[in-house]
Structure 1
Amino acid sequence: MSALAITLQAFFSDRLLRERHASPCTISAYRDTWRLLLRFAATRTSKSPSALDFADFDVSLVCAFLDHLLRLT
């Protein structure tokens, strides 16, 4: 399991649920956004989402993702 996967799992289970007591709607919104980002990054890097790691994310990828989201609306 990549460091990214471990960090995301901890973010959802520890940070959002236990520490922040986030609502189910908030958790769903974060989850859906991460799914979109991971799919986008997987397409751009030609890797499966489960193979992505922190090194795969840079400023240009995140900016391209945000541009992509703007075009969807």
Structure 2
Amino acid sequence: MAFSQIVNLVILVVKIILVSLVVFNSVFASLGIITLIVSMIYPWVALGICGLVILYSINPVASMNRVVRQLG
């Protein structure tokens, strides 16, 4: 891959991330796009990013509150 192609790819990725932040107003949308692009080259890194997103979105307090409401 030539240097100019890499630069064009980086510019495209930045544009897609900015559009996703504006349209979806979400960091998770831009992380998903980054993960999709990274998975084409390094699938294990993309899997790690997905794992981090899942760990980041876990909220044990809210989960416990739901369980307590269902039990009580």
Q: Does the TM-score normalized on the shorter chain lie above 0.5?
A: no
Q: TM-score range by the shorter chain?
A: 0.3 to 0.5
Q: Structure 2 length normalisation: TM-score?
A: 0.40
RCO (CA 8 Å, sep 6+): is it higher in 1 or 2?
A: 1
Q: Structure 1 length normalisation: TM-score?
A: 0.40
More helix by share: 2
